Structure 1
Amino acid sequence: MFKKILLSLLLFTAVLSATTPTQDSVTKLYVATFERAPDAKGLAYWIDDSGLTLEQIAMSFFDQKETQDKYPSGTDVRAFVETVYDNLFNREPDEKGWAYWTKELEEGSVSRSVFILAMINGALGDDAVILKHKMEVGLYFAKNGLDDAEDAISVMADITEDPATVVAAKKLIDEIVTPGSGNKPPVADAGVDQNSVATDATVTLDGSESSDPDEDTITYKWDLKTKPTGSSATLSSDTAIKPTFTADIKGTYTIELIVNDGTVDSEVDSVQVAVDIDNTDFFITTWKTDNEGVTDDNQIKISTHPTGYTYDYSIDWGDDQSDTGVTGDKTHTYSSAGTYSVKIS
């Protein structure tokens, strides 16, 4: 009972405190009441021309057609409480909060405008972070002179406690202000299809040609989408630039790649690996890369006849690297000296 009386006194004091409105505080009112960024003209009016305190502005919001359309006469109080929590914090109230505020509003102990101010002023933890982020994006929208109501809603739709969502929302606003200036999606490149691969070969995928037009840093997400029935193949990593897998049986393997620039995913790009050679068809040899007086650069070279022959062969270099579709001479550099078993098919 004491807590209830104390809270009521605090809320009543807040109403009487005649708080001077600021861009920050009025933006939070827009978020709580309308679930959108403030339009530039509206924000300017409430701050510069209305002559009202923050508490009076909060009450005046409920005289606006937009509010009446959003919360028509007869709107369930419990639903109203839920909506305000979601507008501000992206969540439902806990059951105690739901029960308390529903009772206070139904009994008329607290007005809807005072309830909204209490929610704004009482935000803690992640709630406070989310509200701060929404306020920041809302102000950015208004300061860019924007007034479209649909845009004001859409730019706020995905804001969370993650700072990256603020960056993404601001890029959307930049795109509205100057089409073409906002974030451009990255482009995934899963590499070229690989053919005539032998079973048990280590296949190296290559996403290094993926790019971002804004030169943002990109991250990789590979998915071994399909593989032959009975295959146990798995990727060595689904986030590496050049993951590998062992082609354990014959058939076609399809691998998809999506890259992300921190804001948006790319379209999917895919690569196919056709495994159609038994590993018994390998020519296997051993190479030593550090033969004294022969080589000291950890390289080996496979030479082909220069004229009169057509080549199409695959090489497993024995260091988890491979090449397919080789049509001529091929040189490979090892990261360290040693003896390697090289398979050619």
Structure 2
Amino acid sequence: MSTHLDPITVTATGLDQPASLIDPQGRRVSDPHLAPYAAAVTFEQLLGLLRDMVVLRRLDAEGVALQRQGQLGLWAPCQGQEAAQIGSARALRDDDVVFPSYRETGVMLARGAKPGDYVRMWRGEEGASYDPAVMHMAPLQIIIGAQTLHAVGYALGIVHDGSDQVAITYFGDGATSQGDVNEAMVFASSYRAPVVFICQNNHWAISEPVAVQSQYPIAGRAPGFGIPCMRVDGNDVLACFAATRWALEQARNGSPAFLELVTYRMGPHTTADDPTRYRDPAELEYWRGKDPLARLETLLRAEGVLTDEIAAGFAAEAEESAMQMRAACLSMSTREPLAVFDGVYAEPHTGIAEEREAFARYLASFEEV
């Protein structure tokens, strides 16, 4: 690959105020940058986006319940971030490849996850949480920001293959302080990798507010790397859909792109976290007024598209999906603890044998107590 690069025309949109197409009151608003990418979206498609968000919120609640009941070791809630995940993921092509963090339950839903896929990893069962080759989605990544490097590497492979696929990577506002994310952006810009960086700015990196991560809109960092960007209302599913279409267009035309989807984490960072220790209840209530489901529902009811019957159907589908996820979780058969050493090497290995013996002694210590 040649290292000679043409000058990059860098654009930055919505840095003062996140761009939107549906305001918190459920009214359509205009945005000159986003409008062309949403012009062909039908009411039927908007109903589909609402259905996805309703199902996602119910799946997320069930994940929390399963963890509280001891069926999962951990769960990373995404309540409040439904529009950012569903809107962006539904804009992708089936053959585009996603590199998620650990909170992208909605992206999994949009990529066709099966009931057991949502819980397998969080339960600690064998294998990935789903088949990456089938879903065109890498396994959930718990190491903060590492997936951005994987996405750029894959995107370079796309270039060498001569394909017009795009690699998409998701991460939170806190991850932007990690070296991995910045290094990935440097490499993507230098080699014009077809990758879209999607930062879900949910305002809290565990217990640290976003102001600790950046005194300036996070999207504003991208032009410094030579990457065009948009800052979008992450609770507006139509705006997220349109912005992702714009970003994909940039990537397919030879430039990486960066989206900051400004949203809010309504629940804890994970089920191991207690947000009441660091978050003002008034802030939570403020963001409840920007609920992504409520604003789209308000718009669709005002347009006469969403009826009580349709809404009830979405709720019933969401409940059925949650029950299927629960059934899949409870039916899983956990391997014996020592089986974790099986298949590590094709041939016997003294190091593994020693570790197996040490772990067996550790497990036996609980029996003695």
TM-score by length of 2: 0.22
Which structure's residues are more often helix, by fraction?
Answer: 2
Greater relative contact order (Cα < 8 A, sep 6+): 2
Q: Which of the pair has more CA radius of gyration?
A: 1
